[in-house]
Structure 1
Amino acid sequence: MLRPVRLLVSAAAAAAVVGLIAAPAGADGPGTSCPPGVLDCDVISGGGKPPAPGTGGGDDGGSGGGGGGGSAGSVTCTAAGKKVPCFREDLGWFNASDNCYWEVADPQPTAADKDYVTATTGAPDDWKPGDGRFYNVTCPDAPIAGGLMWRQTPPPGLGGGPDLAALAQEAVTKMRLLGADVGIAPKAGGKGGSVGLPVWVWNQEGARTTGPATASATALGVTVTATATVKNVAWDFGNGTTVSCPFPGKPYVSSYGAQVPDKGRGQCGFAGYHQSGNYTVNATTTWAVHWAGGGQQGDLTTTRASEVQIRIGEVQVVGQ
């Protein structure tokens, strides 16, 4: 479907460039990079509606606790403090630097249109076909500001400018998030506990183990700031028992005796092993990260892993 572009031009100029003042929703693709704020996209040929942003995962490159993966979560764009669609099928991609939507014009100007485009679109006087690219620009809050525009490089939101999602990942890397700093009773690596006695676990608190941790990354004058907090720790006790705790847990103290950890009281663990032996206790920490910058914000997750070894013996009976 053809969509007219709003241009303030004379009748003569309009007649000379009738092929330039209308553009279909589809146009040539802007390049081979995902738009900022989109962690997972498919590069397409043609400027129609791209596939919906996915929730792709990936290692964010952070260190500590055995590494981990991540997922994109949600991404939003904002204009004047209000959320707006990052993509509109009828307008194209949102450019946070000017609060306008941009899409590649189709058809692109030809040599016969040089006088018009150099006079009205910002193209240089020595412009030649193939030099830069022309875009249909629509500014919902300032309609007169839109029109046919020329750029040597793609605008932010169309593969140009910094990749905000990549900056968010860079900020996460700077945090050097860790897996759980495992506290456990019976004590790891010691004489161990006994069959039938409860096992307590906790994540010792710190900026890199429980959060909140904050870091920023900057590129091309745009800064993205990310804040990470632990969403939960999934504990695998090596005997088929798993427990997920959305809190650090409370360290065991002798006054608890043989009390089984109670999640309702912020305690984490389980009732105990049924067989003696050596067990590996794995802790997988899920970090929730919120980032904002460049007129966009989003949420992602990343994980870190850690483990400890414990020994469980048989209950000793006096007189045996």
Structure 2
Amino acid sequence: MGKKAGDAEQAGRLPETSTSNGAAVRRCTAQVGAALSAKCVVALILGAVVFLSAFFMLLQFRSPGNSVPDAPGTLIDEIQAGFILLKPLAQLAPHAAELQQEINRQIGVPNTTVSVSMQALFLSFTVVEFDVLPDPINTSISARSMHALRKNLIQLTLQQLNLSLTPSVFGYPLCVQMLGFPGGITIELEPLQDDSILQVAQPIFNVTLDMSIRQLRGLIEEMKEDLGHLLDEDIYIDLTNKNGSTIAPPVIVQVSLSPDDRGVYEEMGRLKQLAEIITESSSMNLGLDPSVFGRIKDLKLAPRLQALVPSFAPTNAIPFHASIFTAK
């Protein structure tokens, strides 16, 4: 397993929206700068926007979660992730087998192996993509192992774990992102400390946005502020991508009431009020700035709220999402 994240932050988010571009660039540039000599930092900052944009565009283009399936409703069946190394490809290529072993040793589970591909990007940087495969190849990965892999990869993306490679050979991996995971992923941005039934956040609705998890992570405080103001409640937000990608859209945004407000869920009058506020505000994008978040799609109330406003029948309704693929 990887080591707990230290002071160096693995910044892996560069939203295309102008609102969050600057913060993402500063985060990733700060870590890259810490790994380089001081006199390289100025030049790095000047090229950071171009570099990071190219990196995420490359990953998204190659991501299995961004490809068109052969049949409607078919989801990807590959486990893939990627990151940056501050080393030239020519220097890394002879160590591909060693890199595979080190990744597998830290995030792998029994009866799996790792396959690595590398591509040069921008000066002396290399994009690394890796697949986690069953071993032997003609077998399947157990449900228990899949759960462990999903948790490990999500924690790497959230910087709760560091992918620690041999520094003298590989340097320090940056900007870890998930490209695909069977069954999808849900990222719980504010994990509850207490797993008891009394600490379960109560979902009230979900919507779909044409953005990536990576983008929305950089905008989550603004979203919480806007939705919290609309509902006059403390809320929790979970982000789901059905193909298990943190860089490919769309994202299902599930909004829940804070466990501290669980009494509200027993007050039918307040629940009906919330249901009416949500449905009546849907035409106004739930108060979210369309220039930042885009237009909401597929608004779906939780069953308990839906029962209180039976006249609300959203088009293109999706099944109400439950956060079952979380990393705790």
Fold in common (TM above 0.5): no
Q: Which has the higher helix share?
A: 2
Q: Over alpha carbons, which structure has the higher Rg?
A: 1
TM-score (norm 1): 0.22
TM-score (norm 2): 0.21
Q: Which has the higher strand share?
A: 1
